[in-house]
A and B are shown apart, each in its own frame.
Chain A
């Protein structure tokens, strides 16, 4: 079955630590996205990548970093510079010229 996997589902970290969230897709999609969702809020775009080895900042990229070394993988690192990292993080992908995005199950990050 094709899809997007995000791991882990729940992640706990201490303040001051960097943490990397995994996102893998086997849909052969070209574009991948990272969103942040806060309680009762909509989605905000962190970073996106249209092709391998290329990515662009979204609306709230500060304190985050990404890489896209393989088509299937788009990991997100939440750095200690991110002021309020506790949130639900969603990864998505999109096929070529299609418009719709497909989402993974999300990772809930709690930083204390």
Chain B
């Protein structure tokens, strides 16, 4: 079945460092891909999405490119801030049923 694999956390970085959180997927066809962010004690917020191969989703300085050839959707940010500390979830969905398949989440800690 479909699955999403994220790099294990926590990922600890200093402020202004470059961020990459890896996400790879296994799925038939052409799923849509998402990154969600969860701040402590809160619900999830949609961060960005991409619906077809080579699409780049971007929001709040974060970017991710849908790479069909490597089945990846890695999240990147050029310069992180303390306020980016959160848990980041990668997810996919298909046309057929709209169910989201979730990665386990990656906790990001940014130190001043």
Q: Which residues of A contact B (CB under 8 A)?
A: 4, 6, 31, 40-43, 45, 48, 90, 92, 94, 99-106, 108
Contact = CB atoms under 8 A, between A and B. Distances in A.
B103 A90 contact: no
Interface of B: 32, 34, 36, 41-46, 49, 51, 89, 93, 98-100, 102-105, 107
A48 B100 CA distance: 11
Contact of B43 (A45, A48, A100, A103): A103
Contacts of B46: 100-102
A100 B47 CA distance: 10
Given A43-B102, A103-B45, A106-B43, 8 more contacts: A42-B103, A92-B44, A99-B49, A99-B51, A100-B34, A100-B46, A104-B43, A105-B43
A88 B2 CA distance: 25
A105 B42 contact: yes
17 contacts: A4-B43, A40-B107, A41-B104, A41-B105, A42-B89, A42-B104, A43-B89, A43-B100, A45-B99, A48-B99, A90-B44, A99-B49, A99-B98, A101-B100, A102-B46, A103-B36, A103-B43
Nearest to B49: A100
Contact of A90 (B43, B51, B107): B43
